[in-house]
Amino acid sequence: MRTLDGKPVTWRHATVPIGAALQIVPAFVATATEQDIEVDATVEAHYRPEAGRYLVSAVTARAVNPDGNVTSNVLRTVRVGEVLTAAVPRCITVEHEFFAHRATVDQLTTAEGRLIPEDFAAQARKAGPKPDTLELVQLIYSVAALAGVMPIKAVQDELGITNRTAVYWTTRARAAGLLDGITFPVGRKADG
């Protein structure tokens, strides 16, 4: 993860406020090695307020070894979305009691790959849509939406709640102003 001028991304680069408590890096360059096709995939993404999420503005693919060949078949297998999804948690910061400064979301992610530890999720389920719970919804929804992942599904899965409850809690978080600046393009409904 690098800034556009090539510096490693740190919490200090997160200068764009999102919602009530998050700040994000306005643009970044992320590189990941696609081992199965021996290609380094580099993605340049910029946060666009009108879209409410990161948009990819450039993608490059470079063969890992000198004898490699980046063919059209190889390009079709480069997983741009996965690179973006892996990079976004390093670009979002939150205030956290365990750190002397803002922390990136990837620093808070548990070993199981969860954003929210299960005991936090259990407390949220028990409390219902109270302010602390809605802050968790803000974090989960924002990370998912910025990464291009279905945010309601992420809220549902992280908190262990039904889809209907996730929609309701997200609606409450949006009404409280916690999701200002975050949108997610909803695709065509299955029946239409």
Q: Give the tens place of pLDDT for each residue, 114-123.
A: 787 788 889 9
| 25-54: burial string, b at 16+ Cβ within 10 Å, e else | bbbbbbebebeebebbbbbbbebeeeebbb
Q: Give the tens place of pLDDT for each residue, 180-191.
A: 878 776 543 443
Q: Give the tens place of pLDDT for each residue, 28-83.
A: 999 888 767 788 888 999 998 888 888 899 988 888 887 777 878 877 778 888 88
Q: Which residue has the tokens 């700040």?
A: 23
Residue 190: per-residue pLDDT: 40
What torsion do the CA atoms of 47, 53, 58, 64 make, to the nearest 10 degrees? 110
Nearest-angstrom CA–CA distance, 117 and 65: 40
Res. 88: pLDDT tops 80:
yes
- With cut-offs at 50, 70 and 90, classify the pLDDT of residue 192: very low
Res. 99: pLDDT tops 50:
yes
Residue 110: per-residue pLDDT: 64
pTM (2 d.p.)? 0.74
